[in-house]
Amino acid sequence: MDVMALIIVVIWLRALFRGEFQLSSTLKTVAILGVLFFINVALGFIVNGQWTGYFLKRQYEALWIFVPFGCYHLFSKLPLGSQINEKKILILFATLGAILLIPLGVYLVAGHDSPRYGGSFDDPMTFAHSLGMISVFLLAFAIGLQVRSWERFQETKMTPSIKPKSSEDSPVSAISSETANSLDKIADFKAPKKLLWAVWAFTILALVSTMLTMTRGVWIGVFAAICISCLYISKRFFILVAASGGALLTAFYFYWPAFQERVLFTLRYKDTNDAERVALWRSNFAMAQDYPIFGTGWGLNREHLLEYYAKLGIQGIEFQSHAHNQFLHFWAGTGTVGLLIYLSFFGFFLFKIHQMISRAQSQAQKFLLIGLFAVQIEFLVSGLTESNFERSRVRYLILLSWGLILWLWKIWQDNPHEVKMGPAIRL
């Protein structure tokens, strides 16, 4: 995936030097954060006297800074038209998800040796963290399509005497007839019901596949992302989803032995390999205290693990790996400065999504944006138990979502009409 990232960056640089790519104020903000991260990584190695080997490898991996710009450029070149077309964007993500889900039938039908489903990656951890993001995006978008379908059904039942006769009677801000027709065209989902059923079937399949990976951090991330995103709909909907999800997880615990075993595995961490994860957390936290500003050097924290195991009196563990917590990994490796820059990226994109949700021109657009919001939350929460940004295939997906957000923001800026959504959905 780093090679693919390099190709995308080269395409973008070519467009930049040919004058086909202009940096707006939004893109400049992202660029500044990227440059600051790059400088911070370099300083981390320089301060600690690391000039070769890992330094050069990490500088190459730092190309991820440019990937969102490349993805933004590629999105802008796609023949999607000047208006948001949710169905085409859905097809883009669904195609990506389908590539991940193809092996599911083989896994379920032909049998398997491992209790954890690894999908096309043959790696349950990487597959779970990738599919978790796709699952929450598709779920939010599926709900958006369903809500729009219900709205259209209600509209067809309304009689002329019940419809608002003027803009003063309407709960939505007054808009011109031309704009109204345009927005209705964007949000018009008269496609056969087969499309809606297909979206729901694919979404459920993605969630089932995520559960079969037996990756606890992703389970938590998906559940948290879905619940938090529901707050954009209504508090009632949040309570309904949280309660339903809690009941479903409880049922899994009592009636799905493999799920119960994974939960109990967590509670018995001292007697399982989770003890290694706790040792990693303790050691990286200690490193962050000893190297508070620029860290040990991005990725070099694993080279100090044996030293800190001895320093902390951790016996019987010699496991050397990333921190299994993305925040601790960046904190120990790039210092407080690097961690703050990393969090600033997510804060920036979450803020942009929030701004666009308030301007969404249809329920379908609103839920597409809520899906992107859920992707960011799922990635952050899942990062509490795994260094998911260190996995190039997982990192590539979150960077792809950033490129999509930048592209959507550009479209919103080009459209001067801001139409409020009206009251939230009430159940």
Minimum mean pLDDT among 111-120, 290-299, 376-385: which range?
Answer: 111-120
Which residue reads 């799922």 in tokens? Answer: 378
Residue 411 has pLDDT above 70, yes or no: yes
Nearest to 345 by CA among 130, 61, 38: 38
Query: Three-class SS of residue 296?
Result: coil
pLDDT of residue 167: 39
Residues 21-67: pLDDT tens digits?
A: 677 788 888 888 988 998 888 888 888 766 556 666 777 677 788 88
Residues 82-102: pLDDT tens digits?
A: 455 556 655 665 665 566 566
The ranges assigned to domains in the chain are 2-156+179-414
413 vs 249, higher pLDDT: 249
The per-residue pLDDT of the chain, averaged, comes to 76
Which residue reads 């800190």 in tokens? Answer: 308
Alpha-helical (H) ranges within 213-325 are 216-230, 235-255, 257-267, 274-290, 305-312
Rg (the chain; Cα; Å): 23
Which residue reads 């796709």 in tokens? Answer: 134
Which residue reads 């949000």 in tokens? Answer: 187
Nearest to 206 by CA among 125, 121, 112, 96: 96
Residues 209-224: pLDDT tens digits?
A: 888 888 888 999 999 9
HSE (side-chain half, CA atoms, 13 Å) at 376: 24
Residue 79 has pLDDT above 70, yes or no: no
Nearest to 121 by CA among 112, 130, 113: 130
169 vs 394, higher pLDDT: 394
pLDDT of residue 172: 35
Q: What is the pTM of this model?
A: 0.81
106 vs 78, higher pLDDT: 78
Nearest to 149 by CA among 55, 86, 62: 86
Minimum mean pLDDT among 178-182, 238-242, 295-299: which range?
Answer: 178-182
Whether the Cβ atoms of residue 382 and residue 217 lie closer than 8 Å to each other? yes
